[in-house]
Structure 1
Amino acid sequence: MTIGDLGEFGLIAGITQRLTSGPSVALGPGDDAAVVNAPDGRVVATTDLLVEGRHFRLDWSGPYDIGRKAAAQNLADVVAMGARPTALLVGFGAPAHTAVEWAQTLADGLRDECDLVGASVAGGDVVRAGSVVLAITALGDLGGRRPLTRSGARPGDVVAVRGRLGYAAAGLAQLLAGGACDPELVDAHRRPRPPYEAGTEAAEHGATALLDVSDGLVQDLGHIAAASGVRIELDGAALPVPARLGPDGRHHVLTGGEDHAFAGTFPQATRLPDGWRAIGRVAEGTGVLVDGAEYGRGGWDHFPDKNG
């Protein structure tokens, strides 16, 4: 059966039955809008768009992995603010010939990724579209803490990362090459595994700035440098570059983003949380340097003529 056969409201009902509502959702799917608790009195909100052929390919990724990936990249943005994710709102567009089972399995992926952080899919919308499109809004709660922003880095701070870097980029490169693939790297491209605990760890250890590495380490640290009015100096020898990433491993680590690791800055006297790795320092100046030099173009930009 296709979603065209089932119809809009039948599809919504079928998907809703597969979802769970956690304690943060006071009123879930079924009304004109959801009601999500905000104990802190503030709501952290972020949104993202995933388009078939741009962010995922149906011949490379199944619906479950696409659902996990769509949820992960938005939950990671909430975590990067030092907040606890509470809910997702999901807009789903697909051709009428899409199988109902495909859409249901996508919903399972969204649900299971949310379960990792105690969040829920609180509602959304479905529409007919020429290709698969997902529009995700993620909400979170700060629990009384200040938000971790990009603008707090200061000269003398330590730059550190938590999570894998370069795995998803290396996996994508292997898929594009069409030869033998490392299953772990390809799996990293299909389904990121952000270390969600990183936000709380960073907040509790006095991080001065934090972000989700979604577009490449150098490019994203450039956002911290610009927002904070500082220069970030990376130590190439301190970068985690596993041999399995191949001869372009260093480039993947510096410019690949879809692993959704976290990068932050900490006061020099602070002991880094377990699992974090120091890779550089904050200095006076502007921009991002790798071993004292600009790395050059790299990282993701949605306008192709700017991608390195």
Structure 2
Amino acid sequence: MSTIGGLGEFGLISRLTRRLPQGPAVELGPGDDAAVVAAPDGRTVATTDLLVEGRHFRRDWSGPYDIGIKAAAQNLADVVAMGAAPTALLIGLAIPVDTAVEWAERLYDGLADECTRAGASVVGGDVVGASEEITIAVTALGDLGGRPPLTRSGARPGDLVAVRGRIGYSAAGLELLASGRDEPAELVEAHRRPQPPYEAGEEARAAGATALMDVSDGLLQDLGHIASASGVRIDITRSDVPVPGLLGSAGLDHVLTGGEDHAFAATFPEDAVLPPSWTVLGRVAEGHGVLVDGRPYERGGWDHFRA
């Protein structure tokens, strides 16, 4: 087995960068001191995330290709949630030297393939040795195309609240994996490989969205961020919340509080005409917080520092 330590830093970089196709926004890709990415708008949307082994992924639950998809998707979704088109990712990788080279190659295949799905490219980054756990740092860039960003602070009383994409699937899949099960496979795969509907950003903008965000830490918690930033209350109607039967008896909890599906939540003017792919599940009102059928929901979403 060829290991990263045996290949060396520059041999590894060469092997990995050969696997990275470059899109039209890239003027200079991997291989120099830094990449050059076009920003026709004159502004760049930028975001970053860390994925730490044992905290955000487990190698006994997910293969390297799955982890690459997940790492890319969660950052690309944040760019789309600003109403921007993703253009590039920068990847920082800290990895034990005894890791198989093939593992790193498959990780980068997942990163590259998810970028292709979103219209972006991996343009560079850094690799370093680690003692035990793998850590992946991802920075994503995007272009607004001359338009204002879609932020969390634009919701107004009377607006509709709608979601786009599957919600609750990843949380249900995580619960299955934690209990030693791998069926239903659709739920387990949803946790391993999120599928953000990247077209949601353009759909939301075309429909006049007043606020937009990626649902990564739980629907209610993330709607709470919109409510707080906009100085409003969000009222959710339980009967309008889509709960697929596949999610089982805990389906409502998974949909309302489960994270990592990277769906999108948005608010729209009351008279907005939404594509059928969006589901209206509530309204914006005066006040603060998020209520479900007029009451606070008993469970919250994900918090990295909650015990």
Q: Same fold (TM over 0.5)?
A: yes
Write the letter of the residue equivalent to 2:161: V
My pick for the range that moved more, 40-49 or 170-179, is 170-179
Deviations 1:226-280 (A, max 9, x none): 0000000001001110111011100000011111000000000111123000000
Number of the residue aligned with 1:301: 303
Number of the residue aligned with 1:150: 152
Write the letter of the residue equivalent to 2:305: F
Write the letter of the residue equivalent to 1:45: A
The 1:180–1:27 alpha-carbon spacing in structure 2 relative to 1, beyond 3 Å, is: closer
Displaced runs of 4 or more, over 2 A? none
Write the letter of the residue equivalent to 1:264: A
Q: Distance in 1 between matches of 2:128 and 2:306?
A: 28
Write the letter of the residue equivalent to 2:51: L
Number of the residue aligned with 1:78: 79
My pick for the range that moved more, 185-194 or 125-134, is 125-134
Residues 1:67 and 2:68 aligned together: yes
Q: Distance in 2 between matches of 1:68 and 1:46?
A: 17
Q: Distance in 1 between matches of 2:306 and 2:154?
A: 31
Q: Distance in 2 between matches of 1:63 and 1:207?
A: 36
Secondary structure class of the residue paired with 1:46: strand
Q: Distance in 1 between matches of 2:3 and 2:12?
A: 10
Q: List alignment gaps of at least 5 residues for structure 1.
A: none
Number of the residue aligned with 1:39: 40
Q: Within 5 A, what are the aligned runs for 1:115-264?
A: 115-129=116-130, 130-179=132-181, 181-264=183-266
How far did 1:303 drift? 1.3
> Contact (CA 8 Å) 2:93, 2:126: kept in 1 or not?
yes
Q: List alignment gaps of at least 5 residues for structure 2.
A: none
Deviations 1:64-118 (A, max 9, x none): 0000000000000000000000000000111011000000010000000000121
The 1:180–1:192 alpha-carbon spacing in structure 2 relative to 1, beyond 3 Å, is: closer
Secondary structure class of the residue paired with 1:101: helix
Q: What RMSD, in angstroms, separates the aligned Cα atoms of the two structures? A: 0.8
Number of the residue aligned with 1:28: 29
Write the letter of the residue equivalent to 1:172: L
Write the letter of the residue equivalent to 2:3: T
How far did 1:204 drift? 1.0
Q: Distance in 2 between matches of 1:179 and 1:212?
A: 28
Write the letter of the residue equivalent to 1:243: G
Number of the residue aligned with 2:104: 103
> Contact (CA 8 Å) 2:235, 2:283: kept in 1 or not?
yes
Write the letter of the residue equivalent to 1:17: R
> Contact (CA 8 Å) 2:232, 2:287: kept in 1 or not?
yes
How far did 1:180 drift? 5.5
Q: Distance in 2 between matches of 1:112 and 1:82?
A: 22
For this pair of structures, how many residues does the alignment match?
Answer: 305
Q: Distance in 1 between matches of 2:181 and 2:80?
A: 36
Number of the residue aligned with 1:94: 95
Q: Distance in 2 between matches of 1:303 and 1:248?
A: 24
Secondary structure class of the residue paired with 1:189: helix
